[in-house]
Amino acid sequence: MSEPFQIVAVTNRALCAEPLPVRVARLCEAGIDRVIVREKDLSEHEYAQLIDDILDAVDPEFRRFITVNTFVDIAEVRGITAVQLTYEELIAHPSFIHEFPTVGVSVHSLEEVREAQKLKVQFAIAGHIFATDCKPGLAPRGIDFLAEVCRETHIPIYAIGGVGLDTIAQTKEAGAAGACLMSSMMTCEDPVDYLRELRTRIGER
């Protein structure tokens, strides 16, 4: 039996109408599969404070859904078991694979996916797949790229970039094991309703 399609929220506090820790708690309660706390503009100290605020806001049973982006020392100190790395960070520090139960990596080519697979990451995020305001002027890699990556590797591949209600089904059809969404996860009025509709679009409701 195949694993359920993973719906992942990637944070961007600038888009939130409410404090980010509140939004993360609501997403966890709504049934999100993972929350990657991105916030790349923050210093390590600022990011650590944000993580502390998020951990305070979410129910303890949901802390396992929190994934730290880049700052592995923060994850280690706070007992967070999942980290998300850039491809360059993974190559520079392959030992992280053995230090955390769950390590994800961002990839942008088939070659990077193959190397990540050799290093035995738990998942890879491939993108950007569709046109997105987050990457203005940069052409998307497209659904064919996603399908090729999924076909040529056995690690779970999550699609990112322009994924929403109208495109999420295409990512599943291409073979992705999950999809990452940022803007809509930060701005949807009711995370429960939005997640329910996303799962309906991929035939899981």
| Look-up of token digits 């993972």 | 34
In a domain, residue 136? The reply is yes
Domain count, the chain: 1
In a domain, residue 128? The reply is yes
* Amino acid (1-letter code) at residue 155: I
Tell whether the model's pLDDT for residue 146 goes beyond 90: yes
Poorest-confidence range of 31-40, 70-79, 132-141, 184-193?
132-141
In a domain, residue 162? The reply is yes
Q: Provide the pLDDT confidence category of residue 135 given band limits of 50, 70 and 90.
A: low
3-state secondary structure of 137: coil
pTM for the full predicted model: 0.95
What range does the domain containing 173 cover? Answer: 6-201
Judge whether 128 and 162 are in contact, CB under 8 Å. Answer: yes
Tell whether the model's pLDDT for residue 30 goes beyond 80: yes
State the pLDDT at residue 2.
67
In angstroms, the CA 59 to CA 52 distance is 13
In a domain, residue 1? The reply is no
CATH of the domain at 159: 3.20.20.70
The tokens describing 141, both together, are 């890699």
State the pLDDT at residue 134.
72
In a domain, residue 95? The reply is yes
Q: Provide the pLDDT confidence category of residue 1 given band limits of 50, 70 and 90.
A: very low
In angstroms, the CA 8 to CA 160 distance is 9
In angstroms, the CA 29 to CA 193 distance is 12
State the pLDDT at residue 133.
73
